[in-house]
Amino acid sequence: MTLGKMLDILEKNNVPKTAILMSNSGWECSATDMDGIYYNKDLNTVIFTQGDEYERDCGYNGYDLLYKEE
């Protein structure tokens, strides 16, 4: 899914900008917080993370940290 498509879907369905983004990848038993954002310019890919999980398990691999909730 592209970022544009996600934003269009949320706007079309009147989801307020104050809505909280959560993740449920299937590994967890319920939704979990998403509190980090990485971007890889070459791949044009955004990754949302939970805590320091991406840094610890995957490294940066060309991704720039855009946001990390403190």
Q: What is the pLDDT along the chain (70 residues), one digit of tens a residue?
A: 999 999 999 999 999 999 988 887 776 677 888 888 889 999 999 988 876 655 666 666 788 888 888 7
Q: Are strands 22-23 and 36-40 parallel, antiparallel or unpaired?
A: unpaired
Instruction: Report yes or no: 27 and 4 within 8 Å, Cβ to Cβ.
Output: no
Predicted structure pTM score: 0.74
In angstroms, the CA 57 to CA 49 distance is 11
